[in-house]
Amino acid sequence: MTEAWWPPEGEGGDRPRPAGAGSVRVRVPAKINLYLGVGPLRGDGYHEVSTVYHAISLYDELTARRGDTLTLTMEGEGAGELPLDESNLIMRAARELADYAGVRAHARLHLRKQIPLAGGLAGGSADAAATLVACDALWGTGLSREELAVIAGRIGSDVPFLVHGGTALGTGRGEAVSPVLARAGSWHWVVTLADGGLATPEVYAQIDRMRAAGEAPRSVDAPDDLLAALRQRDPAVLGAALGNDLQPAALALWPALGKTLSAGLEAGALAAIVSGSGPSCVFLARDRPGAEKLAADLAAAGVCRAARTAHGPVAGARIV
């Protein structure tokens, strides 16, 4: 079942800006993978994936102001640790957009970060998506969301999804996305943050090693059960359909995550999985009060650095 992107373009807080607006603020969500099927390694070094992305209400915020050069400052998660030079995905996104649109990449960018670094929540990709939306408005380049998603695909596999948001099927290396559900804010989650991060390429290398040694199952073919579960309202049914092929690899590299997952299940979570490549974990709750209690229990159990509640799906990068 494919549906239109949610919310429709121009809604959900996106207001048209006059060319050359003085300041633009964009909010962008983290993503979790409700299902992540990892296929074979391709000739280009990427794995073929079949995934269901889901945008949740854990946000970074990017402000773009006029400037004489391109500069980046930040506060929050990862400040002092994350390089703010040309290696930052924000700088790459600004330059890709400027090249595409034939304008000069001049802006003062400031990031307020809540999504942890290397957490399996695609924070860097989210920031890149926010930059495309913010600079498009600041520079008055007026690109459509589809055009921004094409540029996004050159920056990283998860970036096109974060331009759109909602819930979407991702194929190829994850960059080919199509919407699967238009209903807003239906599901309640808890996300645990870990002390430190896992490098995504290392987690993929680990799953390759484990599969070669027969220690991890091959991927399931298609996320059919998950897509069916999304069409009904019972969180227990959705919980039973969640799946992540990278989980055995993340657990092998970070064994303590096993305790985090079991603590969530003991505290009443309907399901518990590693988020993407980890080490963040996601837990499904029955409703908002259930998520609040679960987050408090997980924080008290000492099995994570922090536990946050979130709902989904939410919109992708949007002007606020």
Binding site for ligand ATP (CB under 6 A): 82, 88-90, 117-125, 127, 158, 197, 200, 276-277
Cα–Cα distance for residue pair 90/71, rounded to 1 Å: 10
- Active site includes 259? no
Tokens of 104: 């000069």
Number of C-beta neighbours around residue 276 at 10 A: 28
Q: Which is nearer to ligand ATP, 141 or 280 (CB)?
A: 280
For residue 55, the number of C-alpha atoms closer than 13 Å in the C-beta half-sphere is 35
Residue 137 Cβ vs ligand ATP, minimum distance, rounded to whole Å: 19
Residue 18 Cβ vs ligand ATP, minimum distance, rounded to whole Å: 28
**Which is the catalytic residue, given 14, 31, 60, 136?**
31
**Which is the catalytic residue, given 60, 136, 158, 297?**
158
Q: Which is nearer to ligand ATP, 244 or 309 (CB)?
A: 244
Q: Is 312 exposed, middle or buried (0-12, 13-18, 19+ CB in 10 A)?
A: buried
Geometric angle at alpha carbon 161, from 169 and 284, rounded to 5°: 65
Q: Is 86 exposed, middle or buried (0-12, 13-18, 19+ CB in 10 A)?
A: exposed
- DSSP-derived letter for residue 253 is H
Q: Which is nearer to ligand ATP, 26 or 90 (CB)?
A: 90
- Cβ-closest position to ligand ATP: 124
Residue 317 Cβ vs ligand ATP, minimum distance, rounded to whole Å: 13
Residue 148 Cβ vs ligand ATP, minimum distance, rounded to whole Å: 17
Q: Which is nearer to ligand ATP, 123 or 235 (CB)?
A: 123
Three-class secondary structure assignment of 218-248: CCCCCCHHHHHHHCCCCHHHHHHHCEECCHH
Catalytic sites, residue numbers: 31, 158
